[in-house]
Structure 1
Amino acid sequence: MTWLLGSPEESLPYILADRGFDVWIANNRGTRWSRRHVSLDPSSRSYWNWSWDDIVVNDMPAIVDYICSHTGQKPHYVGHSMGTLVALAAFSEGRMVDKLKSAALLSPVAYLSHITTPIGIVLAKAFVGELISNLFGIAEFNPASPQVSNLVRSFCRNPGINCYDLLTSFTGKNYCLNNSAVDVFLKYEPQPTSTKTLVHLAQTVRDGVLTKYDYVRPDVNVAKYGQADPPSYNMSAGPAWAPLFPRPAGRDSLSAPADVGLLLDDLRGHAGDRLAVQYLQQFAHADFVIGVCAKDYVYNDVISFFHRFR
C-alpha cells in the first residue's frame, strides 16, 4: 500500500509499469491486505508468533518463487526500510539472490545502533515491545489500537519527542513531502505487525549487532538454534556478483549514516559495478516512497540500474 499512496506520476509502481515493467507488489504478513491464514485467526496469539526472521526464511523466498514460476523470468527487487533488511538478511544466507536480476535498496536498513529518531530510541531502550507483549498480552502491534495509542501517547511526554509531527520524529526531516502526501500516508500507515517483530528490531537497536530473534533464555535459544545465543546475520556473506543499488539518505533518522557505513563496509567485497551506492544528502526516510521529487532523484536512477542488468 505504501508504494501506491502518491499520484500515478509520482509512485514507483506506476512509473515502472509505464516504462514497460511487470510490477508485483508484496504485502508483509499481518498488514491490512495480508491477514489470511490456512488455520489461524488474527485474533489468536499464535497468528502473531513470528518476527522478521520468518519473512526472511519463508515469505520473501516464496514470493520470488511465485513470480518466477508465473513469468518464467527473474525479477528485479525494490525494497524500502524493512524491505531492504529482509532482502539483505536473505542474501547473507544465500536465499533468493540467484533468482533476482538485481536489487535496489532504498533507505537501506541492517544495523540500527545509531538511530537518531527520539521516539524510536525511547521505545527500544524502554523494552516497549517486551512490555506490550508480556505485561499487556498484546501479540499484534497495531498503532491504531487504543492500547498502543495510549502507550505511545505516554512516551510523547519525553523531552525531544514532538508528537505533533510524528512522521518527522520517526523518520528525520524529509526533503520533498507536501502536506497532502503526509496526510494520506498517516491515514493508512503504519500498518499492523507482530509485537515480536518490534521486539526483534528493538534488540538490534540495543545490542548493536544484527542477529536472529533472541529468546533471551539460553535453553530456548538452544532449542531453536542449537546454541545459547542467536546466530548473527553476516552481511558480508552475500555473493559479490549480485547487483545491488543502495540508496541511503543523509538526514535519515532510522537508516542512520553511521549504520549505513557499517553495512557498506560489509558489502565492500562486491565486484566493480555490481555495487552502485548513491547518497542523497538532503533526503530522509519517507522521501523515498512518498516524496514528490523521488521520481527525479531516485526512481529514474533505479530504472537505469535495472536496465544495466537485464
Structure 2
Amino acid sequence: MILMTYFCFVFFWFRGCLGLSLMEIIVGESLGDIDIQKMVMNFGYKLTEHEVVSETGNILVLHKIRAKRKNLRNGSYTPSVLIQHGLLGASDNWFLRGPDKDLPYLLSDAGYDVWLGNMRGNVYSRRHTTLNPDSSSSYWNFALHEIAYYDLPATIDYILDKSGQESLFFMGHSIGSTIALILCSLRPEYNKKILLHLALAPIAYVAHKPNLYHKFVFASFPFVEQSVQSKNIHEVFPRRKYFSRFIEYFCQDGTYFQKLCLMFIFNFVGEDYEQFNATLIPDFAKYYPAGTSLNMATNLYQMYTTGLFSAMDFGNKTLNMLHYQSDTPPSYNLSNVQHPITLYYSDGDYLVTKDDIDILADKLPNVKDKFKIPYQTFNHLDFMWAINSKKLLYDQLLLLLNKYVES
C-alpha cells in the first residue's frame, strides 16, 4: 500500500511539473525577483538585478548581493565570485535560509563581490531579443552545450567588465559547474578568466551504477519524453504557484504524506534525514524547480545512461550536423580545461559519487584538491540546504578563497 501510494505521488509530481498541455506550462504566476529582493532586503542586504544579452540573443539575469555593512578587505582589491546554480535551479535558491547559513551572505560579509547567475529558460532568464518563449519552440532548443558556449562567457565578461578585473572565482553546483568545464574545453581562452573553480558535485562522467529509483526514472524517461513532445511541450518543470501549494499541502509538518515527500527526494539525491530541514519543504518548493528545456533533461538522461561527457545527441545525423557540424555530438576535451579546480564530493550523494569524481579528476590537468564533505550522508541538495552546510562546507570554501586572495 505504501509503495502504491509512493508511485502515485511520483506520478502526480511529474504531472504537476510537466503539465498536460502547453497552456498549463505557460500559465501560473511566477514568484519572481521582487519576492526574493524583499527577502534579502529584510535581512539588511541589497540585491540588484543585471541583464546580460548573449550572442544568441538570450536575455540572462544576474543577481548581485551587497552586504548590509561595507566590509572592506585589506587593500582595494575586492575579488568577484560567480555562483552558478544546478539543474532546475535559480539564483534565489541560495538565499532561502538567511545570513549565517546561506553562501552568498557569507561571501558578501567576507568582503567578496558576489554575483549569482541564472541559466536560460529559468524563471529569471526566460526572455530573448526576438523569440517568444511562450510560442516559439526555437527558444527552447538548448541544452548544456549552448548555455556553456554562448551564455556563460557573456556572463563572465559582463562581471569582469563591471568589476574592472581580469579574472574571477567561479563556484558551481552540479551542472552549474559542468557548464564551466564545457566552456573551457570549447573556448580555452576563458581559462585565464577563472582564477579558481570550486566545483561542488560536478556532473561529467557518470561511472556509478544507478539505484532502483534512478533505474525507474531512466526506464520511464523515453516514454515521458515522447509524450511531452507529442503535446508540443518544450519547457519542463517551470516555477508556478499551484505546484508549490500542492507540495505545501502534501509535505508540510503533520501530514501523512511528508514521509513520502522525503522518500521521493532522498531516493533521488541521497538519504540524509539529519541535515535536511523537512519543515522548510513548502518554502523550498516555492523556488524549486525553476524551469528548463526538455532538451536539457534529455542531455542529462543521455549522460547518465551512456556515461559519456558529450553534447546532446539529437538521434538524427542531419540534426547533429546542423548543431555540431558532425554526425555525432562532440565529446568534451578536458585537457583544454587548464584553470585550477578544486573538486567537492560526498559519500551520501546518489547523483555524483566518488567514482565519478575520480574519473573527472584523472582527465583534468589542473586539479588542486579533492575535498570529501566530512559527513557520511551529505547528499546532492545538502551543498545548498544542509542544516550544517556552513560548518561542513562553506567555512572551508571561504578559507580557500582567502588563501588565494592573500597569496
Relative to the length of structure 2, the TM-score reads 0.67
| Residue 263 (1) aligns with residue 357 (2) | no
| Residue 89 (1) aligns with residue 187 (2) | no
CA contact 1:107–1:255 (8 Å) conserved in 2: yes
Superposed displacement of residue 129, structure 1:
5.8
Aligned equivalents of 2:304 and 2:351: distance in 1?
A: 10
Aligned equivalents of 1:236 and 1:125: distance in 2?
A: 33
| Residue 299 (1) aligns with residue 394 (2) | yes
Structure 1 counterpart of 2:105, from 9, 14, 18: 14
Aligned equivalents of 1:195 and 1:95: distance in 2?
A: 30
Aligned equivalents of 1:165 and 1:191: distance in 2?
A: 21
Superposed displacement of residue 235, structure 1:
2.6
How is 1:46-61 mapped onto 2 (pairs within 5 angstroms)? 46-61=138-153
Amino acid at match of 1:266: K
In the other structure, the counterpart of 1:75 is: 168
In the other structure, the counterpart of 1:156 is: none
Change (3 A) 1:213 1:95: farther
Amino acid at match of 1:86: I
Amino acid at match of 1:243: P
| Residue 177 (1) aligns with residue 261 (2) | no
SS at match of 1:108: coil
| Residue 66 (1) aligns with residue 164 (2) | no
Superposed displacement of residue 295, structure 1:
0.8
CA contact 2:299–2:312 (8 Å) conserved in 1: yes
Relative to the length of structure 1, the TM-score reads 0.86
Superposed displacement of residue 165, structure 1:
3.0
Change (3 A) 1:120 1:194: farther
Change (3 A) 1:42 1:118: farther
Change (3 A) 1:129 1:55: farther
In the other structure, the counterpart of 1:125 is: 219
CA contact 2:122–2:238 (8 Å) conserved in 1: no
Superposed displacement of residue 186, structure 1:
2.4
Aligned equivalents of 1:125 and 1:237: distance in 2?
A: 34
Amino acid at match of 1:35: R
In the other structure, the counterpart of 2:304 is: 205
Aligned equivalents of 2:116 and 2:383: distance in 1?
A: 16
CA contact 1:211–1:232 (8 Å) conserved in 2: yes
Aligned equivalents of 1:36 and 1:224: distance in 2?
A: 22
Of all paired residues, the percent bearing the same amino acid is 31
Superposed displacement of residue 119, structure 1:
4.2
How is 1:1-310 mapped onto 2 (pairs within 5 angstroms)? 1-44=92-135, 45-73=137-165, 74-93=167-186, 94=188, 96-114=190-208, 116=210, 118-126=212-220, 127-128=222-223, 130-142=225-237, 165-174=263-272, 175-239=274-338, 242-267=339-364, 269-270=365-366, 275-280=368-373, 281-282=375-376, 283-310=378-405
Change (3 A) 1:223 1:31: closer
Aligned equivalents of 1:186 and 1:178: distance in 2?
A: 13
Aligned equivalents of 2:280 and 2:191: distance in 1?
A: 34
Aligned equivalents of 2:144 and 2:99: distance in 1?
A: 30
Amino acid at match of 1:53: H
Moved more, 126-135 or 51-60: 126-135
CA contact 1:116–1:256 (8 Å) conserved in 2: no
SS at match of 2:361: helix
Amino acid at match of 2:311: K
Structure whose CA Rg is larger: 2
- Cα deviation, 1:17-54, whole Å, max 9, x if unaligned, reads 00001111111111112212111222122221111111
Gaps of 5+ in 1: 150-161
Aligned equivalents of 1:132 and 1:191: distance in 2?
A: 21
SS at match of 2:195: coil
- Equivalent residue pairs, number: 291
Amino acid at match of 2:400: F
Superposed displacement of residue 247, structure 1:
0.8
Instruction: Indicate the structure whose relative CO is greater, using CA pairs within 8 Å and at least 6 residues apart.
Output: 1
CA contact 1:254–1:285 (8 Å) conserved in 2: yes
Superposed displacement of residue 95, structure 1:
5.4
Aligned equivalents of 2:394 and 2:342: distance in 1?
A: 12
Amino acid at match of 1:54: E
Amino acid at match of 1:57: Y
Superposed displacement of residue 117, structure 1:
5.4
Aligned equivalents of 1:224 and 1:32: distance in 2?
A: 26
Amino acid at match of 2:329: P
